[in-house]
Every structure is written in structure tokens, then in C-alpha cells.
Amino acid sequence: MNYVRLISICTLLIFASCENIVKVDNGSKRWSKERTWKWYSGQKWLVGTNFITSNSINQLEFWQEETFDLELIEKELKLSSSIGMNTHRVFLHDLLWDQDSIGFMDRIDQFLEISDKYGIKIMFVIFDDVWHPIPKLGKQPEPIPHIHNSGWVQSPGVKILTDTLKHKKLEPYVKGIIKKFANDNRVIAWDLYNEPGQYNGAPRVSEERVVEIYSNIGVTLPDDEQPNNTKNYPLYEGAYHRNKMEPGHFEKRFYTLSLIKKVFRWARDVNPSQPITAGLYEGGIPYWGNPEGLPKLEQFIVESSDVISFHSYGNTGWTLQAIKELEKYGRPLICTEYVARGEKNTFYTILPIFKKHKIAAYNWGFVSGKTNTIYPWNSWDSTYTAPPKLWHHDIFYPNGEPFSSDEIDFVKEIISSVNK
């Protein structure tokens, strides 16, 4: 273990012990409940998707200058507007800021011009702890056939996340992006961190399954046991061995808690006109409405967010219980991810619940494409040779035809019943 990492871990341990004494600092500028409800009551029922073009495998391919596809962006935003969607959640990435902050912001502005043209307001996501921990700029790999989200990348990467001394390098990105659009009415809200502390699904995949996945595309993995020997991995340099490439779950959550506190503070320093949030996705539903019963990371999130956001991939009973707990905070609720058809979480079962409780809703998956999210999560440890009959996420084919015409009619009807 090098000295930098040792210092980082020691800092986290000291930081963690102090948390039992010092109350979480959620910033003096957190919106009051009155201000938050005033903002929320001024919106239509917000219904949309987590948007990425079908020709992008991840955030980097979507936003990089070489692959930024305005024509397809317009086509797919127009398609979403045609079924009544009026908002989307869109992921950014810190490496794009490092590469060319001016160009990156210009592309964001171009994207917002098109979204505004179709009456779609955007929630931007600043950081993300999900999937591959070693993001790299440049040409992104092609998707592994039949594998769910084989190329999505974390932001920041593991090397920055696990070195608390480097967190400060992220401040210009956070403040720069939010300041640029802090008073832009095309931006509806800021989601500062997607699934913070997420240890992901792939670490549960066996070594044998990883080898099988690679062999299907003609790649032989190295036979060594060096956890950081990444030069022989042609796709994301060893990201599929995340049990070697990431810290343990408990340790990662400490690093994320350290970073997310800074991120909220940086966002509060800018003081945008839009609310800020980060979403709950684990911690146990029975405790979601009781901050004192939550782990420190989730406790900080609910005590710091202007609006309470969460993910719902469970069935109707799960979702109703989650809402019951979260309504205890007395703040507007936003579901930033839902629809997992194989888990009995569908537009038919979940969207009417959100309508009844006046909850903003963003499903995961729009036009089927490189993310391969028509395949379920278990595609990592199961063998698929053809698209599943029941799509996991996503609602349109690349040609604009719906996965289910009846489903699209239902979505259009329920949105229009509120947003007349």
C-alpha cells in the first residue's frame, strides 16, 4: 500500500470517528420546505427518461466532440416529446471537463437548445458510482453482445475517488458546470451523485464468467494475479475484474461519503436557482423515513437534498412502502430510475402510483442501442444468445418503433391526463 492511499484511509477513519460527535453539515443554504414546494408546484407533472442516444455506450461517447451526434439527439428527443415526456435525466462526466471545459459546456448548451425546442427540461447528473471504475477518454469500446450496460463508466474514476487528497481537483468541474447553468430555466434540477457508494453487480460475477464473456469476443485474459496489471485488458483495462480494481464495499462508501460532502458544499457555494439532490437506492426501506436509522451516507443525502430522490426497481408493494417512508420528510419526491419489467416494475404498475402521489418520474432506458439495457442485470452471469422477449429497460427500437404499442399508448394517456 503506498503512502498516499495510507494517508487517505487514515483520514477517512478519523473522519468516520468524528461523525459520531459532529452533526452532518448539510450547508446553511439548503432550501426550506416552503421554497421547495413552491418550486415543485410551478412544474407540470415531470415525466421522462434517463436519456442517452442509442449510438452511445456511455456518457463519454455521448458527449465527446468526435461522437456528439446532434442529428440523432434531435431525432430521439423529438420522439420522447411525441409521447408526452417533458424532462430527462442526463449524465455528465468529470473527464470531459478536464479535456476541454469550454467545448464541453458548448455541447451542453447545444443539447439544451434542442431539448428546449421540444419542451424538455433537463436534470443533469454530476457524478456516478455505477459500473466500470476506470473511465478513459477517446474511442470507447464496442458493447459486449447480450451483456447489460457493458460499457458504462463511473465518474470520478477509482483513482480519484480513493485518494481524498485529489478530491479538490473536482471542484472546478462541479462549480464550473453548475455556475454556467445556475439560472438556466432549461435545467430543472441537479442530481449531484448517482447511486453513491454503489458496489455494482459485476463484482459478484465469477472469474469463470468473466473469462467466458471475453472469450465470446475473441479475447484471452492474462493469467497473472496482479490486481493492477491492466495493460492486457483491451476493454476498459481490467474493469471487469472490479473485485480487484475497486475498494471493498465498506471502504468505497467511506470514500464516497467524503467526496459527496464536498460536492454538496461546492454546489451550495454556487447557489443555483434549481434544487439539488442525490438519490437513495439502498439502506433498507424500513429505515428510509428515519434518518437516525440510516447509514451515514444515506443519512447525509436525505438531510442535504432539497428534494428527495430515489430509485424504484421493486414491485408495487416495494414502491408503495418506499413512498410511505420518504413522504415523512415533507418534501417533493422524484423517482430518478424505474422500469425493470422482469421485476414486475413496469409503466403499467408503477406510473399510476407516481401519478397518485404526485411524484416526478424518470424511467431508465429510451431507445435500444449500445447500452444493451434491453437485457436484464443477470445477463452478466447468464448466457443470452438473442434479445430477450421481455425487455428489461428501453421502450423504442432504433427505427422509432415501440417495444409495445399498447405501452406507449398507456404512457401518452396517463401523462396527458395530468398535463393537459
DSSP 301-317: HHHH-SSEEEEE-S-HH
Mean pLDDT across 99-123? 98
Mean pLDDT across 69-84? 98
What is the band of 230 on the pLDDT scale with cuts at 50, 70, 90? very low
Mean pLDDT across 329-340? 98
What ranges in 228-248 are assigned the alpha helix state H? 242-245
* DSSP-based three-state secondary structure for 201: coil
pLDDT of 330 > 90? The answer is yes
Q: DSSP class of residue 292?
A: G
Mean pLDDT across 109-126? 98
pLDDT of 403 > 60? The answer is yes
Distances (CA, A) of 38 to 28, 31, 85, 236: 19, 11, 22, 45
pLDDT of 218 > 70? The answer is no
Contact 297, 18 (CB under 8 A): no
Between vectors from CA 88 to CA 312 and to CA 309, what angle results, nearest 5°?
35
Arithmetic mean of pLDDT over the chain: 86
Mean pLDDT across 264-290? 91
Mean pLDDT across 5-24? 43
What is the band of 64 on the pLDDT scale with cuts at 50, 70, 90? very high
Cis peptide before 143 (omega within 30 of 0): no
Contact 416, 86 (CB under 8 A): no
Contact 305, 297 (CB under 8 A): no
Which amino acid would we find at residue 257? L
Contact 372, 147 (CB under 8 A): yes
What is the band of 203 on the pLDDT scale with cuts at 50, 70, 90? very low
Q: What is the pLDDT of residue 215?
A: 57
Distance between CA atoms of 325 and 357, rounded to whole angstroms? 13
Q: What is the pLDDT of residue 27?
A: 44
pLDDT of 232 > 50? The answer is no
SS3 content of the chain, % helix, strand, coil (to 5): 45, 15, 40
C-alpha cell belonging to residue 226: 496482479
Distance between CA atoms of 105 and 96, rounded to whole angstroms? 9
Mean pLDDT across 319-331? 96
Could you give the dihedral angle defined by the CA atoms of residues 4, 295, 122 and 69, in that order, rounded to the nearest 10 degrees?
A: 50
More confident residue, 54 or 132: 54
Helix crossing, 249-270 with 296-304: angle to 10°? 20
pLDDT of 239 > 60? The answer is no
Helix crossing, 3-19 with 249-270: angle to 10°? 70
Mean pLDDT across 193-206? 72
- The domain made up of 30-200+250-416 has a fold known as TIM Barrel (3.20.20)
What is the band of 240 on the pLDDT scale with cuts at 50, 70, 90? very low
What is the band of 81 on the pLDDT scale with cuts at 50, 70, 90? very high
Report the share of the chain in percent with pLDDT over 90: 72
Q: What is the pLDDT of residue 211?
A: 62
Q: What is the pLDDT of residue 380?
A: 81
Phi/psi for 202 (5° steps) reads -65, -30
More confident residue, 368 or 204: 368
Q: What is the pLDDT of residue 191?
A: 98
More confident residue, 87 or 134: 87
Mean pLDDT across 100-108? 98
51: left (phi over 0), alpha (psi -120 to 50) or beta: beta
Q: What is the pLDDT of residue 397?
A: 98
More confident residue, 19 or 170: 170
pLDDT of 315 > 50? The answer is yes
Least confident of 30-39, 68-77, 207-216: 207-216
Distance between CA atoms of 107 and 122, rounded to whole angstroms? 14
Q: What is the pLDDT of residue 212?
A: 62
Contact 188, 87 (CB under 8 A): yes
Contact 190, 267 (CB under 8 A): yes
Between vectors from CA 202 to CA 362 and to CA 5, what angle results, nearest 5°?
100
What ranges in 203-315 are assigned the alpha helix state H? 207-215, 242-245, 249-270, 285-288, 296-304
Which amino acid would we find at residue 51? F
Report the share of the chain in percent with pLDDT over 70: 81
pLDDT of 19 > 70? The answer is no
pLDDT of 220 > 80? The answer is no
More confident residue, 240 or 107: 107
More confident residue, 40 or 287: 40
Mean pLDDT across 364-382? 93
Q: What is the pLDDT of residue 250?
A: 75
What is the band of 248 on the pLDDT scale with cuts at 50, 70, 90? low
pLDDT of 210 > 80? The answer is no
Distance between CA atoms of 251 and 272, rounded to whole angstroms? 32
Distance between CA atoms of 150 and 316, rounded to whole angstroms? 29
Q: Structural domain boundaries of the chain?
A: 30-200+250-416
